[in-house]
Chains A and B, each alone.
Chain A
Amino acid sequence: MNMDKTDYDITSIRKDTATSLLRKMLLIRRFEERSAQMYGLRKIGGFCHLYIGQEASGVGATTALNLAADYVYTAYRDHGIALACGMEPDRLMAELYGKREGCSKGKGGSMHFFDVSRHFMGGNGIVGAHIPLAAGHALALRNRGEDGIVACFFGDGAIHQGSFHESLNMAAIWHLPVLYMCENNQYGMGTDFRRVSAVDDFSVMGTSYGIKGRQVDGMDVLAVYTAVSAEVNRIRKEGSPGFMEIKTYRYKGHSMSDPARYRTKEEVEAYRRQDPILLLKVQMIQNGMLDDAAYEKMDTEVKNICRAAVEYAESGTEPEPQELYQDVYA
């Protein structure tokens, strides 16, 4: 495994950067806890895939981007990355509720958050099917002479789809500015990724297409931020695609209906002990960037934001049935 926890020097990380990373991760954690609670109360219907445990992955990676120029595509476990891209918790919770005030007018739901103004391109529900879209978008940026790159997240379940392999090949032959990131949370629904993959180290999966893969510890937000920043800079400079495996873990089941009996309590506990929020909190305290009081204050703030998001969603309006026939055609 090429993972290296000492890839970065924490003293080179600015305090405001570390604080921002911590706050975004905490916001996602509290938002997802609220989502689970409201789902339990049947306020939210349909599928609901929580990002709890994976916060360092989406936050570290998106913080390495310049979202004024860059674009983000992700799969259906999209709440965390949408928040990390700066989307408003109010409009996301309203979308979970299926309300007109939602970020997709209530027509997307949990799996289809969109915010074109923030360059967040979904929220895509078919496993692996958004991977070619990201390459195509990168081709458009290149042809239009724009500076941005496209970052595309997908899970370990998507990596064996033909769309992944077809896209990496074309991204490589056409030198497209796209960064593919496999968030390996180790279970494709209930299937351990090792049971369905010929290799355990996904970072080698780009090599058939001449793309040197990297593997990064996705429980460590500074490692993700540092590694993705380096790869983004390389792509901007060289204009050729990148591929990274971010090793992460989801604490909850695949979706709200999954009790996750396919893994042991001990395994989950082992990951909780290296919780990404706890890890950064401790690192920041040790390096004089944070104290307990400041952490508690931050936590209270994000909890209030998430409570307000629920109130916003509760007071939203249900779309009218005829709105089903709107937004089908441009």
Chain B
Amino acid sequence: MNRVLQKVHQSEAGMMETTYREAVRAAIDEEMQRDDRVILLGEEVAQYNGAYKVSQGLFEKYGDTRVIDTPITEEGFTGIGIGAALGGLRPVVEWMTFNFSLQALDQVYNNAAKMRYMSGGQLSVPVVLRGPNGPAEYLGSQHSQALQSIYAHCPGLKVVAPSTPADAKGLLKTAIRDDNPVVVLEAELMYAWKGDVPAGEHLVPFGKAATIRQGEGVTLVSYSKPMAVVKKAVEALLAEGIDAEVIDLRSIRPLDRETLFTSVKKNQSLRSGG
């Protein structure tokens, strides 16, 4: 095992400070170790150790039948991941960025999301589609898109957007074990963020928002990277004497309506951003 993986595995109990990148890697690594049906495929994921180094060490550990470098063919390798799921594997497809996932959108909408329904429930498609979504820095229009609304709109998909390293690990592990296609939205600028992550088994359920701050008067709702902005807003509001309640959706589809409705009923005002 190489050094990068060891670092994540050092502490088996309790919390450890981990970057978002390491948390995503740990989730994939642990699930690959737990279930040999889990594979990882995408551009540069194997020998190059990932365009953003998320998959560092996994090729060395699991070999080329489970960590697979693909040609630059988003439609093709996404479809192959979906087909491999139909054939009994649990593939994790990495899109180098969500901007490129538009090339694969037909596979996601028409195959991953619909095969179960069209077959009258005979098929399941346990595939995870993940990568960095949203703008990074100085990249221009084609590399700066946040495309979650496109994915969250589609019946048959589940869509999650972790804002912390702990949720990144817990939601991704849940995604890999889910029997449905799950879109996991990460972000390039979040990969270096640090946070406490439970070592070992840590699963975060879908459809459960986190009320990360109780408050009165206004409810702030967001998810993923904009949660950092929300936290700053809370400070600014406090300085003005406003005690905001903050909800991190974590999962966009399914959406935790109960938590949202309860909070809005209490505070009578909601501001959202994402």
Chain A residues at the B interface, C-beta cutoff of 8 Å: 71, 102-108, 112, 114-116, 121-126, 129-144, 150, 162-163, 166-167, 169-170, 173-174, 326-330
Residues of A within 8 A of B70 (CB): 170
- Chain B contacts with A in 77-136, Cβ cutoff 8 A: 77-89, 91, 106-107, 110-111, 115-126
Contact, CB under 8 Å: B84 / A329: no
**Residues in B neighbouring A103, C-beta threshold 8 A:** 120
CA of A107 to CA of B119 in the docked complex: distance in angstroms?
A: 7
Bound-complex Cα distance A173 to B155 (A): 34
Q: Which residue of A lies closest to B109 (CB)?
A: A126
**A132-B79 contact, Cβ under 8 Å, with A138-B87, A329-B156:** yes
* Bound complex: CA A134 to CA B84 (Å): 8
The 11 sampled A-B contact pairs (Cβ below 8 Å) are: A104-B119, A114-B120, A114-B123, A121-B123, A135-B83, A144-B87, A144-B89, A170-B76, A327-B116, A329-B116, A330-B180
Extra 10 A-B pairs, beta carbons < 8 Å, given A166-B76, A174-B68, A327-B116: A105-B120, A115-B122, A121-B86, A121-B123, A133-B86, A136-B86, A140-B84, A143-B84, A170-B80, A329-B180
Give the distance to chain A from B104, nearest Cβ to Cβ, in Å. 10
Enumerate chain A residues within 8 angstroms of B123, measured Cβ to Cβ: 114, 116, 121
Residues of A within 8 A of B107 (CB): 129, 132
Contact with A along B165-188 (1 / 0, CB 8 A): 000000000000011100000000
B79 touches A328 (CB 8 A): no
- CB-CB under 8 A from B117, the residues of chain A are 107, 327-328
A107 adjacent to B82 (CB under 8 Å): no
- The residues of B with any CB-CB pair to A shorter than 8 Å are 37, 39, 65-66, 68, 70-71, 73, 75-89, 91, 106-107, 110-111, 115-126, 155-156, 158, 178-180
User: Nearest Cβ distance between residue A148 and chain B, in whole angstroms?
Assistant: 9
Contacts of B91 in A (CB 8 A): 136
Determine the distance from Cα of A329 to Cα of B181 in the docked complex, in whole angstroms: 9
**Complex interface: chain A residues within 8 A of B77 (CB):** 132, 166, 170
From B76, B87, B110, B179, A125 is in contact (CB under 8 Å) with B110
When the two chains form their complex, are residues B84 and A166 in contact, meaning their CB atoms are under 8 A apart? no
A116 pairs with B122, CB closer than 8 A: yes
B-chain residues with CB within 8 Å of residue A136 when the two chains form the complex: 79-87, 91
- Residues in A with CB closer than 8 Å to B120 are 102-108, 114, 327
Q: Which B residue sits closest to A135, measured CB to CB?
A: B80
- The answer to whether A167 and B89 have CB atoms under 8 Å apart is no
User: Within 8 Å CB of A139, what residues of B?
Assistant: 80, 83-84, 87, 89
- Distance, CA A329 to CA B89, complexed state (A): 18
| Minimal Cβ-Cβ distance residue in A for B89 | A140
Q: Which residues of B contact A124 (CB under 8 A)?
A: 111
In the bound complex, how far is the Cα of B65 from the Cα of A144, in angstroms? 11
Q: Which residues of B contact A330 (CB under 8 A)?
A: 116, 124-126, 178-180
Of the candidates A108, A133, A140, which one forms a contact with B88 in the assembled complex, judged by CB atoms under 8 Å apart?
A140
How many A-B contacts are there with CB distance less than 8 Å? 154
Query: Mostly helix, strand, loop or mixed at chain A's interface?
Result: mixed
Whether the Cβ atoms of B39 and A143 lie closer than 8 Å is yes
CB distance from B225 to the nearest CB of A (A): 27
Chain A to chain B: the 8 pairs with minimum beta-carbon distance, closest first: A136-B83, A132-B79, A140-B87, A166-B76, A105-B120, A133-B83, A330-B179, A327-B121
Q: How far is the CA of A162 from the CA of B89 in the complex (A)?
A: 24
Question: With A and B bound together, what is the CA distance between A116 and B37 in angstroms?
Answer: 20
Q: Is the CB of A137 within 8 A of B86?
A: yes
Considering the complex, give the chain A residue whose CB is closest to the CB of B70.
A170
B75 touches A162 (CB 8 A): yes
Which residue of A is nearest B83, CB measured?
Answer: A136
Chain A residue, CB-CB nearest to B80? A136
User: What residues of chain A lie closer than 8 Å to B178, measured between beta carbons?
Assistant: 330
Once the chains are docked, how many angstroms separate the CA of A180 from the CA of B39? 24
Task: List B contacts of A141 (CB < 8 A).
Answer: 87
Which residues of the partner chain A approach B82 to less than 8 Å between Cβ atoms? 132-133, 136
Distance A326 CA – B84 CA, assembled complex (angstroms)? 24
| Shortest beta-carbon distance from B92 to chain A in Å | 13
CA distance A15 to B146 in the complex (A): 63
State in angstroms the CA–CA spacing of A170 and B75 once bound together: 12
> Residue of A at shortest CB range from B78?
A132
User: What's the least CB distance linking A104 to chain B, in Å?
Assistant: 4
Give every chain B residue within 8 A of A106 (Cβ-Cβ).
120
Q: Which residues of B contact A112 (CB under 8 A)?
A: 118-119
Q: Which of B84, B121, B124 contacts A137 (CB 8 A)?
A: B84
Candidates A129, A138, A150, A328; contact of B116 at CB < 8 Å: A328
Could you tell me if B80 and A167 are in contact, using CB atoms closer than 8 angstroms? yes
Docked-complex contact A169 and B73, CB < 8 angstroms = yes
A326 touches B121 (CB 8 A): yes
Question: Please, how many angstroms separate the alpha-carbon atoms of A108 and B71 in the complex?
Answer: 33
Q: Once bound together, how far apart are the Cα atoms of A138 and B123, in whole Å?
A: 16
CB nearest neighbor in A for B69: A173
A206 to chain B, nearest CB (A): 15
Judge whether A166 and B118 touch: CB under 8 Å.
Answer: no
A115 — which chain B residues lie within 8 A by C-beta? 122
Q: Is the CB of B79 within 8 A of A133?
A: yes
Known: A137-B83, A140-B87, A143-B65. A130 touches B71 (CB 8 A): no
Contact A166 B75 (CB under 8 A): yes
Given contacts A125-B110, A328-B156, contact A107 B76 (CB under 8 A): no
**How far apart are the CA atoms of A137 and B156 in the complex, in Å?**
20
Q: Given the complex of chains A and B, what is the CA–CA distance between A115 and B65 in angstroms?
A: 29
- Closest CB-CB distance, B108 to chain A, in whole Å? 11
Interchain CA distance A107-B76 in the complex, whole Å: 27
